[in-house]
Amino acid sequence: MALVSASVLLVLAVMVQESFGIARPGCHLHPFNVTISSDRKGTCRGTQVINACVGYCESSAFPSKYSVLVASGFKHNITSASQCCTISKMQKVKVQLHCGGSHQEEIEIGTALSCQCDMCRLSRY
């Protein structure tokens, strides 16, 4: 009986999570609308659905090896290994900007095609 109850609760939890749009665990694509303006006045504007990589990846911390301790003058006693949710494949999409009347402009922006957990690099963000 307890096993059946636990299974039912798990199924209900998943259903509630999906119905309220709660983010699922891990690193994955997430679509969202962007509005692009050619200037602050919004002379030319357009909208596009693009994908971003959202979520989290595993990280860990552990005592440093003796060689690391020696090299750091015994100041680096914890070593951490972190991963970030990043874009692994990207694609350019064209966005039509409507400028009033029949005048239009076109620009290209990037959208994520796939995501992965990878080494965190400041240059990516």
CA angle 56, 92, 37 (to 5 degrees): 95
Work out the pLDDT band at 41, boundaries 50, 70, 90. Answer: confident
CATH dotted code for 1-124: 2.10.90.10
pLDDT of residue 4: 34
Work out the pLDDT band at 92, boundaries 50, 70, 90. Answer: very high
Phi-psi map region of 37: left, alpha, beta (phi>0 left; psi -120 to 50 alpha): beta
In the predicted structure, residue 25 carries a pLDDT above the cut 80: no
- For 10-20, what is the mean pLDDT? 36
- For 77-96, what is the mean pLDDT? 92
- For 20-47, what is the mean pLDDT? 82
Q: Six-digit token pair at 56?
A: 């989290």
pLDDT of residue 78: 93
Work out the pLDDT band at 46, boundaries 50, 70, 90. Answer: very high
Helices (H), 39-123: 66-71
| % residues pLDDT > 90 (the chain) | 51
Query: Among candidates 57, 48, 62, 35, which has minimal Cα distance to 94?
Result: 48
Query: Among candidates 29, 79, 32, 88, which has minimal Cα distance to 59?
Result: 79
If one counts every other C-beta atom within 10 angstroms of the C-beta of residue 40, the result is 6
In the predicted structure, residue 99 carries a pLDDT above the cut 60: yes
